[in-house]
Chains A and B, each alone.
Chain A
Amino acid sequence: MTEGTANGTARGNALRERLSDFVSQLAAAGALIVVFAFLSFASPDFLTADNLFNIGSQTAVVAVIAVGMTLVIITAGIDLSVGSVAALAGVMGALLMSSYGLPMPLAALGGTLVGAACGLTNGLLVSVAGLNPFIATLGMLSVARGIVYIATDAQSVFGLPDSFRLLGQGVVAGGIPIPVVIILVVAIAGYVVLSRTKLGRYAYAMGSNLEAARLSGIPIRRYLTSVYVISGALAGFGGMIAASRVASGQPNYGIGLELDVIAAAVIGGASLFGGQGTVVGTLIGAFLIALIRNGAVLLNVNTFYQQVIIGVIIWIAVFWDQYRRRKLASASE
């Protein structure tokens, strides 16, 4: 291999690198297609516009939160608090409307900000106080849920304006559900952040080698904190969508939600060791989980089996991913 020839084939090689990035998501994408095809045959109710839009709406909460989670996981962190934070945001947003009469958009913004505030706390605990992300967000999982119960006395918040339903149940442009539009917007934004902004690039760098990132002059604290703020804000926003879908603020919402969210990211190729993960992969993961849930209902499969199937898929996806990586790049030197 000489540099002379290297230049000629550089383009081809760059293409191949890109292709191999893409192939890494192929396992999850392949699984998605297989499940989709299977359900199309197995159930007449599956391939209908209604059902597909329904899946889209159902996936919105997990997908939106999972985009934030992907960012956190890329930095070699984790955010266990998203379920509690979603509930807190949903309840607070609902209270803003029912008790303070705020209009829907402001309340949605309020819920998102509540989430961002939780995220800020997480971020400061991790980057300034130096707590392990697992511990910091485990604490927040408990704190946020506690505040929900204190604020609501464990009672659901009703009496919300009809306009609030728009967020989780509305449609635009001839029947496309608003949640589906939200997924698209958040995903595109997430994609741009990860691939084209300093925040995204630094997230990969910090997750890959924190010390190298620091010595390269990256303001570690600021960016690490930002990542948790984004995750918290998206959890808050996801909580508002969820509240809108049931037209109420539910204190018990989102218990265990973090597991689906983390599963979506991991199935999509995010590595808990940091440095790896993509928005496209995470979306595929989120939809795969949603399809399995939906298919199980349509085919009258005992819901307990869903859990088993999803767990097995996590194993397979991660195993395949690691196997591929090991082949591609067995640790050099």
Chain B
Amino acid sequence: MPSKTEVGTQEPVVRLKDVSKEFPGVLAVDGVDLDILPGEVHVVAGENGAGKSTLMKLLSQVERPSRGTVEISGDPVEYHGPGHAQHLGVAMVYQEFALAPDLSVAENLYLGREPGRFGFVNRGKEMEEAGSLLRRVGLNVRPGSLVAGLTVAEMQRVEIAKALAIDAKVVIMDEPTATLAEKEIEDLFGVINALTDDGIAILYISHRLDEIFRIADRVTVMRDGKIVDTLPVSELDEDKLVRLMVGREISNLYPKPEVEIGDVLLRVKGVSRGEKLRDCTFEVRTGEVLGFAGLVGAGRTELARAVFGADRVDGGSVELEGRTLKIKKPQDAIEAGIGYLTEDRKGEGLALQLGVDQNITLANLPMTRGLISLKEEGEIARRRRDQLNIRTPSIRRRVQVLSGGNQQKVVVARWLETEARVLFFDEPARGIDVGAKAEMFGLIGDLAKEGRGVVVISSYLPELLNMCDRILVMREGEVAGVIGREEFSEERVIALATGTEEAA
């Protein structure tokens, strides 16, 4: 893609000079100098815990820099909190949680800045302006509809419209595609292009290399809080980018060991749940990695949750090693030897106020004589930290302050501790860096090698095509078909997922 901005000829909208941020025990951002130009898409890449999100928070004044200056449109700015940053034209696109669900879209867009006088809101004006903002971000909902009824992608669009409403010069997006489907990602890129055409700069964090090369004008790579380099995307290729990020070569992103596939381990028959799941049947063998593919909403997560007992089912049976299980709640599944790694780690995975160690042992506490063995707990946590390379200054640190990718690893560590025979990984690679992805897939391979069965749910097809022995494709709550490795192709999966090919 040709660069839209003439690097070097424009005044930067944002200039960071020698900015640092220290947290207890961590120098999260270390002496960073960075210019952001109007109208560019500037990607910030780097490993988990490199300091990307923290850097964005310094700019949006969610955090106060420990050192250094931030200039916006050429003027140094004082720290006065997020409201001040917005006032100066820096907007952050959060995900759904920054919107008030019980207010309408229009009310959310103008929250705190309602048009009107004397404390009265001029509703007509609000609706009209909201309508035009929504058109600009290509969102097809009525300004009067409640935010609670929107999809995640739509809420994100409302967030972007909110940035336009404050006349933002810089819009920050921290892993915006993590919860979007492929089609929604395309639409988002369209909106981003429209914004940059208007001269708005986009700061974009992502771990997905394909995305970076599609939309970036320039890429800044961070490692250990420092900037390694800032380059126009034209001077980069995947290998070079990975090397800059992790400081070494990653020969194989999808290490898949040769594993002898054995007997049927898990057999799921006729699982149904209302409209969401209809008569789903599948099996997982020892040593096998089974993929769940399908469009967002096809019921992949629902199927995993149903087997795991997280949701009630209308009917169906689950057999593990030939025994029929009675699973009414997750506890039953875990005791039988089934684990499920949730896709939404913050909402459903982590006890944020507890420590890394306590989160790791949550599903399987080490007990001696009726009491928790703190010594053993510490050993377990340290072992998993080293194995999964979880970056934390201490195993007792609350998981709340870990970077997103490291939080993900903590949840994985918890499930490894349960010694489950069958593990469901729901979007395991979401939010983790390339190095960690390779490690995660290596781990999945190892689990299979140990004779466990692994189910991987992913929206990113290359992951499934490379890692799995078979892929089960879902469509509208039904199993549309199962493809064996020798017949793998992106086209076949998509055809089954969209219903343009009937199951053989």
**Does B119 interact with chain A (Cβ within 8 Å)?**
no
Further 19 A-B residue pairs, CB within 8 A, beyond A197-B370, A211-B347: A3-B389, A10-B394, A13-B396, A14-B396, A17-B355, A17-B394, A201-B362, A201-B372, A204-B351, A204-B353, A212-B348, A212-B349, A214-B310, A214-B329, A216-B363, A216-B414, A219-B329, A329-B398, A331-B400
Report which of A6, A201, A214, A217 forms a contact with B393, defined as CB distance below 8 A. A6
The proximity string for A residues 278-318 relative to B, scoring 1 for CB distances below 8 Å and 0 otherwise, is 00000000000000000000000000000000000000000
Given that A10-B394, A13-B394 are known contacts, is A332 also in contact with B349, CB under 8 Å in the complex? no
**Does B194 interact with chain A (Cβ within 8 Å)?**
no
A16 touches B371 (CB 8 A): no
Given that A197-B371, A331-B400, A333-B404 are known contacts, is A1 also in contact with B350, CB under 8 Å in the complex? no
Q: What chain B residues lie within 8 Å of A195 (beta carbons)? A: 372, 374
**Does B395 interact with chain A (Cβ within 8 Å)?**
yes
Name the residue on B nearest A222 (C-beta).
B331
Name the residue on A nearest B352 (C-beta).
A208
- A201 to chain B minimum Cβ distance, whole angstroms, is 6
A208 touches B174 (CB 8 A): no
Given that A10-B395, A209-B350, A215-B310 are known contacts, is A332 also in contact with B27, CB under 8 Å in the complex? no
Given that A14-B396, A205-B362, A215-B330 are known contacts, is A275 also in contact with B403, CB under 8 Å in the complex? no
Interface of A with B (CB < 8 Å)? 1-3, 6, 9-10, 13-14, 16-18, 20, 192, 195-198, 201, 204-205, 207-209, 211-219, 274-276, 328-333
**Does B365 interact with chain A (Cβ within 8 Å)?**
yes
- B289 to chain A minimum Cβ distance, whole angstroms, is 22
Closest 10 CB pairs of A and B: A217-B334, A13-B394, A275-B353, A208-B351, A17-B396, A216-B363, A217-B331, A196-B371, A208-B353, A205-B351
- A78 to chain B minimum Cβ distance, whole angstroms, is 18
Q: Given the complex of chains A and B, what is the CA–CA distance between A201 and B354 in angstroms?
A: 9
Name the residue on A nearest B332 (C-beta).
A217
**Does B250 interact with chain A (Cβ within 8 Å)?**
no
Q: Given the complex of chains A and B, what is the CA–CA distance between A6 and B352 in angstroms?
A: 22
**Does B391 interact with chain A (Cβ within 8 Å)?**
yes
**Does B439 interact with chain A (Cβ within 8 Å)?**
no
Q: What chain B residues lie within 8 Å of A207 (beta carbons)? A: 353
Report which of A196, A198, A204, A330 forms a contact with B354, defined as CB distance below 8 A. A204
Name the residue on B nearest A17 (C-beta).
B396
Report which of B331, B340, B355, B374 forms a contact with A219, defined as CB distance below 8 A. B331
The proximity string for B residues 209-246 relative to A, scoring 1 for CB distances below 8 Å and 0 otherwise, is 00000000000000011000000000000000000000
Q: Given the complex of chains A and B, what is the CA–CA distance between A213 and B353 in angstroms?
A: 13
The proximity string for B residues 345-386 relative to A, scoring 1 for CB distances below 8 Å and 0 otherwise, is 001111111110010001101010011101000100010001
